[in-house]
Amino acid sequence: MTVTAVIGSQWGDEGKGKAVDFLAGSMDYVARFNGGNNAGHTVINEYGTFKIHLVPSGIFAQNTTGLIGGGVVIDPQVLIDEIEMLNKTGVGVDDRLWVSPRSHLIMPYHKILDGLYEEAKGAGATGTTRRGIGPVFADKVSAGATGTTRRGIGPVFADKVSYNGIRWTDFTSDMFEQRLQVQLQLKNKIIIALGGEALKYEEVRNTYRDYYSKLKPYIKELFSLVQDGLKAGKNFLLEQAMGTFLDTDWGTYPFVTASTTIPSAASAGLGIPPRYITNVIGVTKAYTTRVGGGPLPTEINDTDSEVYKKFGEVAATTGRVRRVGWLDLEIVRTAVDLSGVTELCLTKLDTLSGLEEIQVCMGYKLNGNNIRYADVDAYGLDKVELTYKKVKGWQQDITQVRTFEELPQTAKDYVTMIEESAGAPVKWIGVGPQREATIRR
């Protein structure tokens, strides 16, 4: 029996979806345990190309059962669309996808408030920080917006922990109606005060009752299923959403997301005792990207540069352009330490092909002394001096390479440098977005 957590070791979008898809073949259960549809996980396999937001990315493996734990917040329309799409494409999720009745629902007011809060804080702030384009950090980020996905994530988690949430279990009685009435009284006052339009009880009620009737066949308490599975020695794959540095506690607060993104979240969010989680795979992009505000220490600001164009990506959830930077090994090392990463899955090595020289941040200094990421806060990161190492690149296209030995020597050196510096072995190397474009070591 193994319980393996797959986590992103940077600011999200490391390639977790692809990793979970190729690992799911040997799993009995694949589970989401945190976040919501702020996640966008890309999967490319024999069924096609998918951007998955809520259903575990391992669902394509026909032997697996998908679980959405109580730690996940659910926008019902997004889940309904995803289920329909997966059923239509022949993946088939009926009788093998279960949603916890403990999961909280994203309500229309959560999405409205997410937007209104962002506007109030100054939605223009991208938080692009350092080196090259002036004192943007101090001016824009100090009280600036987080640059959320506007999916209602912050407000729904705020309601969850302040006892104002609505869960699937509330639909089994008129508790849903009772709770909705109270919430609308509260939320409409705030919405109106911030210049928005009040929501109508009947409309919201009917829409959500309709969602419940569509999703009811998938809602089931997961406790016994998970406990029986653990006792029977089944294999579990736990798919984290977002990345380590978007974690509410350990990320670059307040430029973070509203849920815990380290493996311990699976304990509460799915009901797995921590001691069962023995494998933690840290998915690490060969460079760094970030969407939204907040510090990105190794950020590349020269939008005309070859490397900026090479690294460029469009966000899977919001369609925003992802900010890019060189690989930051202090960040990866911190993720390895924090989450007890046992193996690394290095993604997008192919994207580095063609660069003469690659830069890597090996560590941080403050006033001439070595420091760790955790020694400063999000604002303090702007004052940190980065120790860069320049390494030789490789010119060959490596997208067809399937063994470590076949990689150019400089690519092998890059991989070795990462594992030595981060403190965990690189077991998988991504050389393309498709499932099979993976080197196993």
Binding residue count for ligand GDP, defined by CB under 6 A: 21
Residues 347-386 contacting ligand GDP, CB under 6 A: 347-348, 350-351
The answer to whether residue 53 is catalytic is no
Q: Which does 432 bind (CB under 5 to 8 A by kind): ligand GDP, ligand IMO, Mg ion, none?
A: ligand GDP
∠ CA 215-261-267, nearest 5°, is 70
Of 6, 9, 11, 16, which lies in the binding site for ligand GDP, with binding defined by CB under 6 A?
Answer: 16
Nearer to ligand GDP, 16 or 130 (CB): 16
CB of 18 to ligand GDP, least distance (A): 4
Nearer to Mg ion, 12 or 70 (CB): 12
Annotated active-site residue in 21, 41, 328, 350: 41
Nearer to Mg ion, 233 or 319 (CB): 319
The answer to whether residue 210 is catalytic is no
Of 35, 40, 66, 69, which lies in the binding site for Mg ion, with binding defined by CB under 5 A?
Answer: 40
Using Cβ positions, the residue closest to ligand GDP within the complex turns out to be 430
Residues 68-97 contacting ligand GDP, CB under 6 A: none
Q: Which does 247 bind (CB under 5 to 8 A by kind): Mg ion, ligand GDP, ligand IMO, none?
A: none
Of 13, 239, 328, 350, which lies in the binding site for Mg ion, with binding defined by CB under 5 A?
Answer: 13
Could you tell me which stretch among 10-18, 124-132, 149-157, 332-340 binds ligand GDP (CB under 6 A)? 10-18
Nearer to ligand IMO, 239 or 350 (CB): 239
Question: Rule CB under 6 A: which residues touch ligand IMO?
Answer: 8, 12-13, 38-41, 146-149, 151, 153-154, 241-243, 246, 257-258, 291-293, 316
Of 153, 316, 345, 378, which lies in the binding site for Mg ion, with binding defined by CB under 5 A?
Answer: 316
Indicate whether 292 belongs to the interface with ligand GDP (CB under 6 A): no
Binding residues for Mg ion, rule: CB under 5 A, are 13, 40, 316
What residues act catalytically? 13, 41
